[in-house]
Structure 1
């Protein structure tokens, strides 16, 4: 009956006021994961989050700006305006690449991972908790930064390689985890809610916890400390995808012949020309400091319209790189010649060093490691003239190089002091 709903609501409110506290469900997890302690939310009346009259059917949803949460957690609704929720960077990339051929590409292939509410990260139902690394890696997996922190790299897309341990229904290559992960640090140690709400990538940088030791040869070279990000040297590896193919199938039955891992869309399959998990190339980030970079993405499109394909094939839509922070930090670093005698690492590959003949494969690029025809979306490549200056081996370089190699005969000094 129509009068029942307001009657029940009034009774609930009266019970709350008379009893002093109508506590929320006992399904709340304890603070900091200790079940013998009540979580802060367990002391709240239901109406603190769920207002009467059904105004907040889901108090944590983005549709109402998490109105049931931000009454206490003020300002955190700004996260819904940030990249984790809007996916603006990915949407802009798709608009200038795949959307030229398929206007619905983003909805078909890219819409699954974005924040729709507080509970996406903070638990289910009333089991509200602080998110740990596992919660972050629900979305930050595969080629997105986050999996590498735990020592995981994407496997090849063919089904024959989908074997071994699976996390979130995805198998992976087992790699060396980040040293911070091995000590038990969670993502929130550097990426706080407050920083994410402000649109920052991190709340703190490396030198807020670490002081570079002057005993380390590389730290006594002023150009290193002034012009390089710490992780340009201390990132031991990074997943890299060279040539990202999205194959569009007008007839779904044709997909079976490719034996590739299913994606989000029934219309597409994804594959890669080459995947690597070694030390990534280097370029300049938006701050003008030398940083690891990787393709994101060298994007190709193929429209398989029939068994005897008559559609466009291997169309290069974008060749974009991004400066990024691989979460694969270790105390040690690469040797001097890994940068000072390695033009390929700066996309200045010599013709005599080329293994892949991309143009002969119809890939429309001379090489993945040549700057021509490619761009660094959030920074710039190192010019050939600047690399030649950096690669010059004067007396100072020779002295430092010999000292570096002498350290290998003795105990390796720690790179920083906590």
Structure 2
């Protein structure tokens, strides 16, 4: 930085008083900064070449946008959680794993989100999706889910050079809201995940049957019922190849020249439920169930498909709809709560040598920001007492009334 500063000072040393930037530079400023002079961002002496970068704490931006530099302390820039997960998993086998596979998206400049340097603008949802795509939360808001890794499924529509499954978008997306309506700059600078929660805008309607149950409102996050679907990946395999022609046998989408990646199973259905850090029922999904293999000179190095971590996270699917699932999609549905009975298993990762008896049982797995739902609590909520039966009948009656209306003669 010091050397770059000195070069700029020297480059401008010959200028006389009254010299205009446009005498040498042909940049045209547009957008919200169109009326600003060059020196207001680039310094009085023109000694700030890039006023937006993390290297100088965005010195050209913070003169007007106070505390804007705090965005560089946010998870979008530090990627601390991802780095810590890699240290617990794939980096045990390859210390360079994060640098090789995970450095594509992290904020290093205000321009990463705010457009070209001389055409600053407010980011919209598509700007956010430059990074928040694939398995990361964000794609789902617009009704996009990751496809299987096999090349046979790499077809159909694309977004940011990735094929996706077309799913039902979030209702907030359908009415024209952008990410920034809930994830404001002020909240990001403060290190918060979100500025507004559901109840900041919505009052639960007590006439809705589900809202009439106190346990629902007291113990559950709204998204537990209102998330229409959740992108889930079970078993994420990274295979490192060195001087190995059999890399070509892996018919999957290539990520870089060192690794190929595939998954055991991807699903896009109702989210699995657990408890978040607040102790409330919340959607959960695998952060990654991480497997590692290495091939050198077409021969395996060490054990294949080593299970390095099986970690889940409580999270918020951006797939909100007005309606909800039926009562028995949770009550007396054990797999929804990671309590799948052994006799009900269809997928058997244990028989494939993958170290887990089931992806939907807690043994050998953990939630990093919460806990799995206790069996005793699930058994209590699955007792179909008189109150449950009455509400269940009322719920079905609401459907019948809608059918009567829809079938009425015009």
User: Fold-level match, TM-score > 0.5?
Assistant: yes
Q: Which residue of 1 aligns with 2:382?
A: 391
Say if 2:114 is the partner of 1:122. yes
Q: Which residue of 1 aligns with 2:30?
A: 28
Partner SS, residue 330 of structure 2: helix
Aligned 1:21-60 pairs, distance under 5 A: 25-29=27-31, 39=32, 41-60=33-52
Q: Deviations over 1:90-134 (max 9, x none)?
A: 000000111111110000000110001000000012111000000
Q: Which residue of 2 aligns with 1:5?
A: 12
Q: Structure 1 pair 52/307, CA: closer, same or farther in 2 (3 Å)?
A: same
Say which of 391, 394, 407 aligns to 1:403.
394
RMSD, aligned CA: 1.9
Partner SS, residue 15 of structure 2: helix
Say if 2:83 is the partner of 1:91. yes
Partner SS, residue 59 of structure 1: coil
How far has the Cα of 1:307 moved from its partner? Answer: 2.3
Cα pair 2:244 2:297 within 8 Å, conserved: no
Q: Between Structure 1 and Structure 2, how many residues are aligned?
A: 393
Taking structure 2 as the reference length, what is the TM-score of the superposition? 0.92
Q: Structure 1 pair 131/24, CA: closer, same or farther in 2 (3 Å)?
A: farther
Cα pair 1:252 1:266 within 8 Å, conserved: no
Q: Which residue of 1 aligns with 2:290?
A: 299
Cα pair 2:244 2:296 within 8 Å, conserved: no
How far has the Cα of 1:26 moved from its partner? Answer: 3.6
How far has the Cα of 1:411 moved from its partner? Answer: 3.3
Partner SS, residue 212 of structure 1: coil
Taking structure 1 as the reference length, what is the TM-score of the superposition? 0.91
Partner SS, residue 124 of structure 1: coil
Say if 2:65 is the partner of 1:70. no
Say which of 82, 99, 112 aligns to 1:107.
99
Partner SS, residue 410 of structure 1: helix
Say if 2:327 is the partner of 1:320. no
Aligned 1:313-352 pairs, distance under 5 A: 313-352=304-343
Q: Which residue of 1 aligns with 2:266?
A: 275
Gaps of 5+ in 2: 1-6, 404-410
How far has the Cα of 1:5 moved from its partner? Answer: 2.7
Q: Structure 1 pair 3/411, CA: closer, same or farther in 2 (3 Å)?
A: closer
Q: Structure 1 pair 4/77, CA: closer, same or farther in 2 (3 Å)?
A: closer
Say which of 121, 132, 139 aligns to 1:140.
132
Comparing 76-85 with 248-257, greater Cα deviation is found at 248-257
How far has the Cα of 1:136 moved from its partner? Answer: 0.3
Q: Structure 1 pair 8/281, CA: closer, same or farther in 2 (3 Å)?
A: same
CA distance in 1 between partners of 2:70 and 2:222 (Å): 30
Q: Deviations over 1:49-103 (max 9, x none)?
A: 0014453211011111111001100012111011000000000000011111111
CA distance in 2 between partners of 1:101 and 1:151 (Å): 35
How far has the Cα of 1:310 moved from its partner? Answer: 4.4
Q: Deviations over 1:149-200 (max 9, x none)?
A: 0000001111121111111111100000001100000001100000001010
Q: Structure 1 pair 45/310, CA: closer, same or farther in 2 (3 Å)?
A: closer
Q: Which residue of 1 aligns with 2:351?
A: 360
